[in-house]
Structure 1
Amino acid sequence: MLYIFDLGNVIVDIDFNRVLGTWSDFTRVPLATLTQKFAMSDVFHQHERGELSDEAFAAAFSQEMGLPLSYEQFAHGWQAVFVALRPEVIAIMHKLREQGHRVVVLSNTNNLHTTFWPDEYPEVRAAADHMYLSQEMGMRKPEVRIYQKVLDAEGFSAEETVFFDDNADNIAGANQLGITSILVTGKDVIPGYFAKQLC
């Protein structure tokens, strides 16, 4: 079997409120104002596909948010999104590989984040056979072609694949190909799914 894991809020807890809080501290713009303005806009999506440099993204996103941030301040806040590893998921990924399954990560991420989390959480790469990152692939979830690309690269059919993600749109995209897709709504979902399979 092929098991595909998302990164944020699946393997690693993330919280964009931490990003906004850091930017608020730097600029004195009220957190409530930033929360209202924050949206994953076209600029956000372009950055995740690798179509914008980190500097261009920081400038454009700061302008959208009305934030007078230096690039260094923007980047510092952007990295604050990462909270903590989910060790129970890392353990499951290792066990799946020990049983002969293929385990990969498919993440909508961006170059700026990948200058941080691989060093902060080396356990992620150690638990995966391969990392599929949106900014390297030039596409992002929930585009159906990104799931097809992973299936083709790994040599598995949709029927032989299970996908875990915390975003309902991403689940819907994978479902279009017939991939068994599990919406991760909390930390107990993945351990619960494997409670019987990995006995």
Structure 2
Amino acid sequence: MKLKAVIFDFGNVIINIDIPRTFQAFASFTGKRQAVIEKLIVENQLFRRYETGQFTDIEFREIVRQTVGFPLSDNEVDVAWNSLLLDIPERRIDLLKEIRKKYPIYLLSNTNNIHIEASNSYLKKTFGLKHLDELFDQLFLSYEIGMWKPDAEIYKYVLDSIKLKPQEVLFLDDNHHNIQAANALGMQTILVEPPTCITEYCKTIF
């Protein structure tokens, strides 16, 4: 079936990320071992809970303090939490602009407000873009819609919103569970495996 839209994940597809850097940063601030910090954050499902909108930024920071057992300042929480965010290569920005001339493009990301605000600040400083939505036709952010990849409901929500059939959409993500879930619904998919850039995957398609 003819391709009618392209959906991109954010982390490691558009922006490079390194999740262990966040655990390292919290360990540095608290003086606790990185493995202990990671275990606490994972066991308490902080990513999923925050990224499905279960609490506000203020509540999140307090929950982080309770989880790691240390009186971190708001700034220390934000700095550590944003440590996983790296850079966006300019060639990816250029690619999005080129693809958007041919197809509507969307962002579908498990993310949170603190990361999005930091990413917007980076985009403004680096590329003069005020907000991520300048690059996409629409953003589907987990914390805003209360859904999470790879749960099937989030893909169905996006498809209903853009009024397309699964087979008419190409989805790029770096997580094989997310790709498998999209495949199960009939979406066309590309598993992005860093350090290979999306420009390499897309050059023979668009």
Q: TM-score range by the shorter chain?
A: 0.7 to 0.9
**Structure 2 residue ranges without an equivalent (≥5):** none
Percentage of identical aligned residues: 31
Task: Identify the range of structure 1 (115-124 vs 80-89) with the bigger mean alpha-carbon deviation.
Answer: 115-124
Q: Aligned runs of 1:18-37 on 2, under 5 Å?
A: 18-37=21-40
Partners of 2:66 and 2:174 in 1: CA distance: 28
Q: Which residue of 1 aligns with 2:164?
A: 156
Q: Which residue of 1 aligns with 2:78?
A: 75
Q: Which residue of 2 aligns with 1:55?
A: 58
Q: Give the aligned residue type for 2:109.
A: S
TM-score, normalising length: structure 2: 0.85
Q: Which residue of 2 aligns with 1:127?
A: 135
Asked if structure 1 preserves the Cα contact closer than 8 Å seen for 2:22 and 2:80, the reply is yes
Question: Is 1:13 paired with 2:21?
Answer: no
Partners of 1:44 and 1:75 in 2: CA distance: 14
Partners of 2:157 and 2:165 in 1: CA distance: 11
What CA deviation, in whole Å up to 9, does each residue of 1:98-150 have, x standing for no partner?
12x01011111112222221221245433211111111111111111111111
Report which of the two has the higher share of strand.
1
Q: Give the aligned residue type for 2:78.
A: A
Q: Aligned runs of 1:92-171 on 2, under 5 Å?
A: 92-99=95-102, 101-122=103-124, 123=129, 124-171=132-179
Q: Give the aligned residue type for 1:142.
A: P
Asked if structure 1 preserves the Cα contact closer than 8 Å seen for 2:64 and 2:77, the reply is no
Q: Which residue of 1 aligns with 2:184?
A: 176
> Runs in 1 of length 4+ with deviation above 6 angstroms?
none
Aligned residues between the structures:
197
Specify whether residues 3 and 189 from structure 1 end up closer, same or farther in structure 2 by C-alpha distance, changes over 3 A only: same
Following superposition, the deviation at residue 40 of structure 1 comes to: 6.8
RMSD of aligned C-alpha atoms?
2.0
TM-score, normalising length: structure 1: 0.88
Following superposition, the deviation at residue 157 of structure 1 comes to: 1.0
